[in-house]
Structure 1
């Protein structure tokens, strides 16, 4: 037997049966003696044989594989994958993660490109994480997590980003801050970004604080963008005493930039984030943030997809989970 990938022919030769007999055993078909079935299965286990996903798809029109499609592997998607993995325990399904590494021919429409590469032969359905569009087709069942364009017809899972934005801003206002900066997403990016900004503006309005356009900046969730934007905010003639960053990665970058400029967090600048990824607890100081239940979002998304694959309608097609404030050490009253 060759030292490469074990084939069905290797199994047949080792078991002393035909390829057709091995195929029948693999597909649980009648016409094979029980002793032969046992022998073939022993050889399969001994040799570590696995049929390819493509071959499985051609044979059964199913792969029993769910794809989790992400633009990049970063703290949010990494946490979501933990929940997705929990959802398939005890099922016949496996997970495959497909990411472009944040690169390629442009972010808009990445989910269409990824689906076209995987659908039909490699995956039975997909969870799209932070998709930019939902008008995907091709007959593959999909569920979207934190989508760009709202609910439409595709089942979705997200968090209460509007309330989360309020919680973060209200916390800073309650501490006594009046000049509160906001680091958000580009307006045509994910739906969650504008909702968090809306929560920020709403909390300011309820406190009788008019928003200052100079303090509201678009930084994206890219670390370099965030760092440059934070420097701009902190070198204003009247800089903010607190910054609400619309995700933890940007918030942690804010702390690092402020520290490099000789500012102390939270004595000179309070910082609050959004997500509550594990990295937020390890920042210096530990980051106050708004938690969205990311792992639960991944688990629910896969459970909804499993319903679709079984021909059932999910109990809810659009799930919105609550957010909550997680106070730590990066916020304090202003001087």
Structure 2
């Protein structure tokens, strides 16, 4: 009989039904201290905070649903990068509106660069869930949110945050399609501006390029590879390096559209015409890609759909539902424009 009672209590705890007072008793602290940890407030020693967080995680603590439904979703960016951020927010807002849920956003760029914690002030707003579009998310951030019963979903993380659910795109197949496009046009000497080696999506795109070249028997030339950040300046400077090689590439595949725009500038400085002298392909399909002259051939990522998927997942987690998988990859699409053409003899 006693054993049955213990089993029932353990099952209740696994369901996250343990009250704060019981968590406090198990941790050897007062209920207000547990409340401070839950809401990310100061005034708690680090060891005590970790002990309380561990108990909250172990017992699957969740805030009562009535309190949760009164709050909205928080989308965390490191930088609000123009049309990408707008599209992601549009997708999140569309799903949230159907659930009568508000959406807020946080730009943690200044805090992150200063080494400050961004989770604590966010927890003060008691969100129903958090969506991060932020490469600096760590396991520690995840643990702090989990200890407060706040579910987290990451959009296109740069590293492995398993078991955090993540939404991304099939970067590998997008890179394969972009490479095949250039190969079909007749390009054989293809330069590559890859993203940072630490970035999962950049590595997947580089693997896709290698696979497409290997499929047609063209060896990958490491001399035509440069790694850089996803910025205009890196595209300009690294693009110039490639375009001034003794045997320069006839086309350049870029890690993102900002790098591709930098290659446009490098080509202009060197007196090269796009696509007559050089073909350029980007990745993302930001709004500005279609404004360039000529328009940029690129791989489209469905940012609004990524935001909507992340919102559906985090709301499901907030309601205590289990997810079927932890990684969701959406399809990419090649968008041919005027920046690519058959190579011409130089």
Coarse TM-score class (shorter-chain normalised): 0.7 to 0.9
Tell me the CA shift for residue 266 of structure 1: 0.4
Tell me the CA shift for residue 318 of structure 1: 2.2
Tell me the CA shift for residue 151 of structure 1: 6.0
Residues 182 and 217, structure 1, Cα contact 8 Å, conserved in 2: yes
Other-structure match for 2:186: 176
Other-structure match for 1:124: 128
Other-structure match for 1:196: 205
2-structure distance, mates of 1:293, 1:115: 28
1-structure distance, mates of 2:342, 2:262: 21
1:61-100 matches, cutoff 5 A = 61-62=67-68, 64-74=71-81, 75-100=83-108
Alignment CA distance shift 1:130-1:195 (3 Å): farther
Task: State which of 194, 204, 222 in structure 2 corresponds to 1:213.
Answer: 222
Tell me the CA shift for residue 154 of structure 1: 0.9
Other-structure match for 2:335: 326
Other-structure match for 1:266: 275
Tell me the CA shift for residue 130 of structure 1: 4.3
Alignment CA distance shift 1:153-1:134 (3 Å): farther
Aligned-residue Cα RMSD (Å) equals 2.2
2-structure distance, mates of 1:232, 1:131: 28
Other-structure match for 1:37: none
Tell me the CA shift for residue 315 of structure 1: 4.9
Residues 79 and 277, structure 1, Cα contact 8 Å, conserved in 2: no
Kindly tell me the number of residue pairs found equivalent between the two proteins.
273
**Could you list the runs of 5+ residues in structure 1 that have no partner in the other structure?**
1-53
Residues 85-138 of structure 1: CA distance to partner in whole angstroms, max 9, x if unpaired? Answer: 21111323211111134x55549xx8x932233024342321011434452212
2-structure distance, mates of 1:113, 1:181: 40
Other-structure match for 2:19: none
Alignment CA distance shift 1:78-1:250 (3 Å): farther
SS in 2 for 1:83: helix
1:28-67 matches, cutoff 5 A = 61-62=67-68, 64-67=71-74
Residues 233 and 259, structure 2, Cα contact 8 Å, conserved in 1: no
Residues 111 and 117, structure 2, Cα contact 8 Å, conserved in 1: no
1:114 aligns with 2:118: yes
Alignment CA distance shift 1:130-1:182 (3 Å): farther
Other-structure match for 2:171: 161
Instruction: Tell me which protein shows more helix as a share of its residues.
Output: 2
Residues 140-159 of structure 1: CA distance to partner in whole angstroms, max 9, x if unpaired? Answer: 21001111224621111110
1-structure distance, mates of 2:111, 2:265: 29
Q: TM-score, normalised by structure 1?
A: 0.76
1:310 aligns with 2:345: no
Other-structure match for 1:233: 242
1:146 aligns with 2:156: yes
Q: TM-score, normalised by structure 2?
A: 0.74
